[in-house]
Amino acid sequence: MQLHTLFVCKSCSAVLSHDEADERAEGNQLLLNLLQTQKNNSTYSSLNIESVGCLWTCVKKYSCAVSFVCPQKYTYHFVDLPQESITDVLQFSLLYQESEDGYILPGKLPGKLRSYLLVRIPPTPESIVCTK
């Protein structure tokens, strides 16, 4: 079984003013809390939800950012997610987990998620080996 991880940004970078960073971090924390309440829901139990210090999208003035990551699958990075998008994010997680390579057709993205998608990164070929 592959490990599917949803990284959720829990703060905003120091590149923002203190007040702006605090305001955005509140939205990030709310998003994280709403997602973590689903950990006990058996439908989403195979999704690893992890908070990360910074996904660095606030540099471009995006907040409430999440990334779906799984080895040998496409990576999806969504930004500026409103509180109402939680259901769409969770529905996407099921599509992502069911997909063999993680590729989800744009028309299949739940709700308004397509408008929050910043980037989709192709999987790294198995033949590539990272070295020092």
**CB atoms < 10 A from the CB of 54, how many?**
17
**Distance in angstroms (rounded) separating the CA atoms of residues 64 and 113:** 13
Q: What is the overall mean pLDDT for the chain?
A: 81
Number of folded domains that form the chain: 1
| pLDDT recorded at residue 25 | 54
Q: What's the confidence (pLDDT) of residue 41? A: 77
CATH code for position 106: 3.40.30.10
| pLDDT score of 23 more than 60 | no
What domain range includes position 87?
Answer: 4-121
